[in-house]
Amino acid sequence: MKSYPTLLAYVLLCLSMLIGQPAHTQQRFQRWGGGVDDELLHFGFSFHYIQADYKIELAKDWGNTGYKSIYSPFSNNVGLGLLADLKLTENLNLRFSPNLTFLNVEIITEKPTEEKRNRIHRSNIELPLLLKFKSDRKGNLRGYLVGGGQSAINVSPSKRYTPKEDIITNGVYLAYTVGIGFDIYFDFFKMAPEIRWTQSIGNLIDRHPGNTYNKNLPLDRLFLRSFQISLFFE
């Protein structure tokens, strides 16, 4: 988690240096970008690198349950997706970008004499609906902010988990997401590096009576959160 501010500062520095190029230089080499900015509706695809963990809220009396600590380290994951982009105004677009993400996130429970690594695998179909707020184009670059909400559906088989031995989470959840990026224009397409933060809404712990391992852990609430670096091609 400590590396995130450094990475974000580096990305923003590169963006500011690129956008800060002299206007006459940018205009001289302005590229068409495949004409996507002139289309009412255009499409694309994306690749994602994702770091994810669970934000854990413990029960008030968890210190009396024999556990020394319960935490979730960040894990490295990947995803890919499609994109449909609807132009609303010159500086505002509505984006629908269904993704397939593969997440392996651990919750580690420690007792004085025992440690258990609870790996929770999710193959999520994510359905984000986002608003993209764009700056005016400067040469071959345009910065933007993006934000909105999404639903996620876990399509990995539940048979791989045993309710008496594993943490069981809800298969469907909602989340909010915000990010920043910039469009880079080439002759026949544009590419958009983007960084985005996403966090689930609502408790992900499955409270079904049959999930006995969940009931034996001093967990009150779980939230899935992720830091995502993406490349969009449009």
pLDDT digits (tens, 9 = 90+) for 121-133: 999 999 999 999 9
Query: Which of 25-39, 113-127, 149-163 is predicted least confidently?
Result: 25-39
Q: What is the largest CA-CA distance in the chain?
A: 69
Mean pLDDT (the chain) is 87
**Percent of the chain clearing pLDDT 70 (strictly above):** 87
Average pLDDT estimate for 20-42: 69
| HSE-CB for 140 with a 13 A CA cutoff | 18
Residue 43 has pLDDT above 50, yes or no: yes
Query: Which of 21-35, 77-91, 166-180, 204-218 is predicted least confidently?
Result: 21-35
Residue 205 DSSP label: B
Residue 12 has pLDDT above 70, yes or no: no
- The count of other CB atoms within 10 Å of the CB of residue 167 is 23
Provide DSSP, 77-141.
EEEEEEEEEEEEETTEEEEE--EEEEEEEEEEEEETTEEEEEEEEEEEEEEEEEEEEEPPPBTTE
Q: What domains appear along the chain, each with residue ranges and CATH number?
A: 3-233 (2.40.160.20)
